[in-house]
């Protein structure tokens, strides 16, 4: 038996859940073009890689050769190292999907792409705990300066762990 909007199979609870909410036009669309069903299903078959995530999270660097750019490069280099460790399973519960969820609110790239390109912004801050604004798909990484140098590598990576394991959004 073929699973469809008109005849959902027991193994497709998502299909049964959305069926009452689809208007007649959408039902006809899915019945006539079954390929659009993938827009409603999670894409867990495509593993997120470091290369994919670095392509998705577009860093907003300062001008080449500036002192700020050198500080951005040092922070970004450690962040890339962190992503490689997370991808290989050396950061405990943190994986690449955790990082994407932290920055965008979702663990996978939408089928039609992000409406707002996810980005990494570098900011001056007293601490090095990453922050994010999921409404605009922006993650903020802190920059070192003379009065506030980068912490030791393992301490910085532990701060990244704390941020990316957090599923709490907002303030109480």
3-state secondary structure at position 161: helix
Distance in angstroms (rounded) separating the CA atoms of residues 149 and 135? 30
Distance in angstroms (rounded) separating the CA atoms of residues 57 and 76? 11
- Find out whether 140 and 123 touch, Cβ atoms under 8 Å: yes
The H or E element that residue 119 is part of is strand 119-124
Tell me how many degrees the CA angle 127-170-168 measures, rounded to the nearest 5: 85
3-state secondary structure at position 29: helix
3-state secondary structure at position 20: helix
Closest to 75 in 3D by CA, of 133, 117, 134, 128: 128
Residue among 3, 9, 12, 135 flagged as catalytic: 135
Distance in angstroms (rounded) separating the CA atoms of residues 83 and 33? 38
Residue 165 a catalytic site member: no
- Annotated catalytic residues are 135
């Amino acid at each position: 038996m073929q699973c469809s909007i008109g005849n959902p199979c027991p193994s497709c609870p998502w299909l049964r859940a959305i069926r009452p909410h689809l208007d007649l036009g959408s039902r006809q669309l899915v019945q006539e073009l079954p390929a659009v069903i993938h827009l409603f299903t999670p894409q867990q078959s495509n593993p997120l890689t470091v290369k994919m995530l670095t392509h998705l999270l577009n860093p907003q660097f300062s001008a080449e050769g500036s002192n700020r750019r050198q500080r951005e490069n040092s922070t970004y280099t450690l962040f890339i190292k962190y992503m490689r460790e997370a991808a290989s399973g050396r950061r405990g519960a943190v994986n690449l999907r955790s990082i994407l969820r932290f920055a965008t609110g979702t663990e996978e790239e939408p089928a039609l792409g992000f409406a707002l390109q996810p980005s990494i912004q570098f900011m001056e801050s007293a601490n090095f705990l990453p922050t994010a604004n999921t409404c605009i798909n922006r993650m903020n990484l802190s920059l070192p300066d003379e009065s506030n140098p980068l912490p030791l590598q393992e301490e910085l990576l532990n701060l990244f762990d704390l941020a990316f394991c957090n599923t709490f959004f907002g303030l109480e």
